[in-house]
Amino acid sequence: MKNPLLVFNSNGIYCPKGDFYIDPWKPVDKAIITHAHSDHAKAGHRHYLSHHDSKSILKQRLGWEIKLETKDYGEIIKINEVKVSLHPAGHILGSAQIRVEAGGEVWCVSGDYKTQPDPIAVNFEPVPCHTFITECTFGLPVYQWPDEAETITQIENWWKENQQKGKISLISAYSLGKAQRILALIDQSIGKIYCHGAVHTVNELYKRAKKLQGHFPYLSSEIKKEALIGTLIIAPPSAVSSSWAGKLKPLSVGAVSGWMMLRGSKRRQNVDRGFILSDHADWQGLNKAIRQTQSENVICTHGYAEVFAEWLNQNGYNGMSEKTFFESENSEVDIEN
């Protein structure tokens, strides 16, 4: 491609014509942030631009003093001669795809996205473009999500079973997005729900923005251990694998993530139960989304990028892969997938 609209450089995805970055991993002047997950929203940029709904979380995570401008979905911003707009990605609250247009050429950066509906995030909307930069965290045909409702029923049944056995149910789910999705969907009348501090902080922001309802207090150390029997606790994976969780007894641990599709991943996480629920697109979702963009060029990042690009190549697209820093070696456990 000659003079591409967006390039990958050592700081991140860069637009030379507009002189801005999308989700840069090193400090830059202008950063457009797809969503507030830590692998996409880094600290240290001079100017930030994001969706309105990402505002409080970004400030809470990156510092209240950051210079942040926010926009609604579909609003067009002109940066030099480049037209930029945000479009729903369906990943978490405030998550956006970034559409970039100049000289009749349209590119779209998906950020993280899912095509399944979400109780809180605005549902994914395909953006017609010439070049689509897509994530493919779950870009293999073995990842095909069951219905969300089916998974939630499984979680509820597991919780009830644990209540009968006099156990605490501890859910491992990342604290921004997944935890609130579960809270919004689960039958809160089954029993009392407590949240780990990291989850609670996000809950409060969601509640203030009227995106979440219900009573699920912070699990403080003052709460008596006996009072936890039969309750459901939601905590991030890092807390679940720490000594903090060891003190909860008797306990059953369930991990909620797309990785739970594979028995081996479940075994490696050493949890009692795995529940399949992801905020990323599955195999069918990725293919459908790409089809709907009607793009010719697809640049794959995140996850199985090379394999997925090859698959696209064999299916009439010009598929490429680019390395990004949106992933860590520990992706099964740490990253917000």
- Output 34 or 269, the one with its CB closest to another protein: 269
Give yes or no for residue 149 binding another protein (CB under 8 A): no
Which of 142, 164, 210, 220 is in the footprint of another protein by CB under 8 A? 142
- Contact between 307 and another protein by CB under 8 A: the answer reads yes
199 touches another protein by CB under 8 A: no
The yes or no reply on residue 313 touching another protein (CB under 8 A) is no
- How far, in Å, CA of 250 to CA of 197, rounded? 21
Longest dimension (CA), the chain: 66
Q: Which is nearer to Zn ion, 272 or 327 (CB)?
A: 327
CA atoms of 320 and 309, how far apart (whole Å):
5
Using rule CB under 5 A, residue 112 touches Zn ion = yes
Q: Which residues pair with 20 in a beta bridge?
A: 15
DSSP for 227-273, written as a single string = GGTT-EEEE-HHHHTSHHHHTS-SEEEEEESGGGGSHHHHHHHT-SE
As given in the structure block, the two tokens for residue 227 are 């009072």
**45, 50, 53, 58: CA torsion to nearest 10:** -10
Q: Among residues 192, 233, 186, which one has the least CA distance to residue 212?
A: 186
How big is the chain by its Cα radius of gyration, in Å? Answer: 20
Stretch touching another protein by CB under 8 A, among 95-103, 216-224, 256-264, 292-300: 256-264
Min CB(231)–another protein separation in Å: 21
Which two three-digit tokens encode residue 131? 């070049």
Query: Omega of the bond prior to 250 within 30 degrees of 0, cis?
Result: yes
Q: Considering only residues 217 through 256, tell me which ones interact with Zn ion, judged by CB under 5 A.
A: none
Which residue in 15, 22, 37, 134 binds Zn ion (CB under 5 A)? 37
Binding string, 269-298, against another protein, x = CB under 8 A? xx-xx-------------------------
Tell me: does residue 280 bind Zn ion (CB under 5 A): no
Q: Please say which residue, 53 or 112, places its beta carbon nearer to Zn ion.
A: 112
Q: Of the two residues 40 and 273, which places its CB atom closer to another protein in the complex?
A: 273
Q: Is 215 helix (H, G, I), strand (E, B) or coil?
A: coil
Of 144, 213, 294, 313, which one interacts with another protein (CB under 8 A)? 144
Residues that bind another protein (CB under 8 A): 140-144, 241, 261-264, 267-270, 272-273, 304, 307, 311, 314, 329-330, 333
Residues that bind Zn ion (CB under 5 A): 37, 39, 112, 326
